[in-house]
Amino acid sequence: MRSERGRVVEVETLEEFDRRVAAGATSMEGWHLQSLDLRDRGEALRALPAAGALFLGCTFTEGDEQSLRARGALVFPRVPDVPFDAYRASLYGPRELYDGLATSYDATRDARVYAWSQQQPTLDVTLAQALHDHAIDNALRDLVAGRDLVGVMGGHALPRGSAGYADAARLGSALAGTGLLVTTGGGPGAMEAANLGAYLAPYGRACLAEALEVLATAPGFRPSVTEWARAAFTVLDRWPDGGTSLGIPTWHYGHEPPNPFATDVAKYFKNAIREDILLHLCTGGIVFLPGAGGTVQEIFQDACENYYADASSLAPMVLVGRDYWTEEVPAWPLLRSLADGRAMEKVVHLVDDLDEVPALLSR
């Protein structure tokens, strides 16, 4: 049972509700109950004082919701006519997002939510999105508490079967092996590769090499997201007990499907919120693989945080690919110029060899 000291406790499962009742709870004051089906708990709900309790998107037997309101509880009703739970208490898993893939990607929960999000942004639509993203914030906080996160950023267009994809997968495996929670933007390309490496880290290099061969049969999500995703689930089914990693994608880029190798998926509607959270959480540092506009944005958004940070809260930044970041997309000279003479200077690095990265992050 997850408990919190003080006047507020979060009750996110029926088991937790039952344990509190069985332990002799005398009031629900300060309880925050989230997305629970309480239709079989009416007797307990009616027996306990309800003033000061908060119910978010719960389901009740007829009459219980009115009773709770009358006795001082604050009840937020379920949001109707949306293809998601606006008050969900946990992050997504890949199988939940891809439920329906046996038919096609268009039948999956992920695709249906994206299609819903493309309608006219009326007040009820934007409110449902905001409630959902708030719930994801809360669930994400629970996941990362007490853990060191390392970000891996890079281009979404990096194809499976390429040398760069294999390198990113080996990097994800190496970082997971140091005890860090590998965190990506949750999309395809370099992000998928890093999550794949972290997932297969417990299985070793031989299994990773075999998985890369399986995935190479569907190099990208175009022309078929369905075949791209099915290849990934072939890997997941073959190696079902992989390591944990985090993906933070967004339905703002819904044309890019989430990769199935992040075991925990914090998917947001608002990309600006998602970007800020993604960078803010990676206190263990961020590795920037070659990428385009999105990766460049992330470099300088992260640089801004380090630029104004005090020396005790700096996070390493490692750009991988000397020629790429100095010649093809010359972000490094500007980054180095910004860092010159400031505390962040010692945590900004440019390397060619991926084997150097773990040591730079652990300094």
Task: State the DSSP H helix or E strand holding residue 169, giving kind and residue range, or none if neither.
Answer: helix 163-177
Phi and psi torsions of 359, nearest 5°: -65, -40
User: What does the DSSP assignment read for 96-140?
Assistant: HHTTTTTT-GGGSHHHHHHHHHTS---HHHHHHHHHHHHHHHHHH
- Residue 151's pLDDT is 97
Rounded to whole angstroms, how far apart are CA atoms 107 and 78?
23
Q: Which of 206, 201, 202, 263 is nearest to 232 (CA)?
A: 263
40-86 tens-digit pLDDT: 999 999 999 999 999 999 999 999 999 999 999 999 999 999 999 99
Residues 248 and 266: beta-carbon distance below 8 Å: yes
pLDDT-derived band at 6, boundaries 50, 70, 90: low
pLDDT-derived band at 363, boundaries 50, 70, 90: low
- Residue 5's pLDDT is 47
Rounded to whole angstroms, how far apart are CA atoms 142 and 149?
13
- Residue 362's pLDDT is 72
Q: What average pLDDT does the chain have?
A: 95
> Stretch 35-40: mean pLDDT, rounded?
97
Residues 331 and 319: beta-carbon distance below 8 Å: yes
Domain ranges of the chain: 9-76, 139-284
120-149 tens-digit pLDDT: 999 999 999 999 999 999 999 999 999 999
CA distances to 189, 302, 322 from 330, rounded to whole Å, are 21, 16, 9
> Stretch 92-119: mean pLDDT, rounded?
97
Residues 79 and 131: beta-carbon distance below 8 Å: yes
Rounded to whole angstroms, how far apart are CA atoms 17 and 218?
45
In three-state secondary structure terms, 340 is coil
- Residue 7's pLDDT is 73
352 pLDDT exceeds 60? Answer: yes
Q: What is the CA radius of gyration of the chain?
A: 22
CATH of domain 139-284: 3.40.50.450
pLDDT-derived band at 2, boundaries 50, 70, 90: very low
- Residue 216's pLDDT is 98
Name the pairing type of β-strands 31-34 and 54-56.
parallel
164 pLDDT exceeds 70? Answer: yes
In three-state secondary structure terms, 220 is coil
343 pLDDT exceeds 80? Answer: yes
Q: Which of 4, 10, 12 is nearest to 91 (CA)?
A: 12
In three-state secondary structure terms, 264 is strand
4 pLDDT exceeds 70? Answer: no
> Stretch 288-305: mean pLDDT, rounded?
95
> Stretch 319-328: mean pLDDT, rounded?
97
Rounded to whole angstroms, how far apart are CA atoms 58 and 38?
7
Residue with tokens 């606006």: 86
